[in-house]
């Protein structure tokens, strides 16, 4: 893991998220009801050996990245199709 330097004047707290599927990413999935307002959110229990009240991690974010993922997949498929027709 690449070390990250602290920035003076900022909190600099860390959260280390695992690569849960071994694909180089750690994916968050919003568990709020469909059509909710406000930021997306996922909460999980970090570790049961921490004191009660400090075991839950809640992550919030603004943008649903599935749209970007689908656009990237389409671009990749188009690129592969183009490469297939090259002489
Ligand atoms: Zn959501």
Q: What are the residue boundaries of the structural domains of the chain, listed by start? A: 40-84
Alpha carbon of 47 to ligand 1 centroid (Å): 24
Answer whether residue 86 shows pLDDT above 60. Answer: no
Alpha carbon of 85 to ligand 1 centroid (Å): 41
Tokens of 43: 């909460």
- Residue 80 confidence (pLDDT): 80
| Mean of pLDDT over the chain | 83
Alpha carbon of 18 to ligand 1 centroid (Å): 21
Phi, psi (rounded to 5 degrees) for 43: -120, 145
Alpha carbon of 32 to ligand 1 centroid (Å): 5
Q: Half-sphere exposure of residue 12, counting CA atoms within 13 Å on the CB side? A: 8
pLDDT, one tens digit per residue, over 29-65 is 999 999 999 999 999 887 767 777 778 889 999 999 9
pTM for this prediction: 0.62
């Amino acid at each position: 893991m690449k070390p990250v330097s602290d920035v003076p004047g900022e909190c600099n707290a860390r959260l280390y998220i695992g690569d849960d599927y071994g694909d180089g990413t750690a994916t968050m999935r919003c568990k709020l009801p469909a059509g909710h307002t406000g930021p997306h959110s996922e909460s999980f229990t970090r570790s049961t050996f921490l004191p009660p009240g400090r075991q839950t991690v809640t992550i919030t974010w603004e943008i649903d990245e599935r749209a970007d993922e689908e656009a990237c997949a389409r671009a990749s498929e188009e690129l592969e199709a183009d490469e297939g027709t090259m002489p």
